[in-house]
Amino acid sequence: MSISSNLPEPVVPQGPWSLFLDIDGTLLEHAAHPDAVAVSEELRMLLARLETQLDGALAFITGRSIAAVDHLFQPLRLRAAGLYGLEHRLVRDGPVEAAGEPADIAALAEEIEAELASADVYIERKGPILAIHTRAAPHLLQRAIQLVEQALDRLPVGYRVLAGNAGVELMPLEAAKGAAIRRFMEQPAFAGRSPVFLGDDTSDEHGFDVINEMDGVSVRIKPRGPTAARHALAGVEEALAWLDGVSHSAAERSTVTT
């Protein structure tokens, strides 16, 4: 992994390219509760404009469910991989391949809620993924990690624990952002394009690895320590400014061409 403080700002690839976007910490500032965020009309317009400029080759790659993404960005229903790739919408405004909550994960969620939910910790149940958010109670992060790691011994084989900057998630092994990116790159709108991926957290590192394998542009937002990303932007504000600049440049090139 590279040391993030030395990473250059990204430059879009020459020729056709595609764009993959994490949401929380990349397009929106983190909040103590996932619902305590708001999407501005300017951001909706920017995303819609970029999607048009890229001929549809834009997708969210997020740990949120696609239903939650649609609620945030309504009326936009862009291509998306939700729950780290356990859900997909491969076509704008198209159907969602959804994932349900297994009984053993539901039981575990109830156990953890009984211990932690009253301590400024938010337990998010996302089908087969269980997320424990400790941003409002950082002193409980290690306890949350301990609880889900202990649960691995009694769950079916095929789960892993992913600790982040302000929480921990228990998820199936097949839930990986890189795998979601690979699937999109096989779709007609993305095929033959150089991929660009913006993300900000541990869960995005697998995506960066895949982007690097494809000779694309991997971008870590507000990096802290080592990362597989080859480029960096200082924070959400800088990421939005970069995307806006990219969009305006594309519009100017289109005007010159026509």
> Active site includes 104?
no
Instruction: Walk across the sheet containing 79-82 and list its strands.
Output: 87-89, 79-82, 58-61, 17-21, 194-199, 217-221, 231-233
Cβ atoms 159, 182 nearer than 8 A: no
DSSP 28: B
CA atoms within 13 A on the CB side of 7: 26
The closest alpha carbon to 11, from 237, 233, 257, 254, belongs to: 233
The closest alpha carbon to 12, from 248, 256, 257, belongs to: 248
Cβ atoms 73, 47 nearer than 8 A: yes
DSSP 36: S
Q: How many Cβ atoms sit within 10 Å of the Cβ of residue 67?
A: 13
- Catalogue the active-site residues: 22
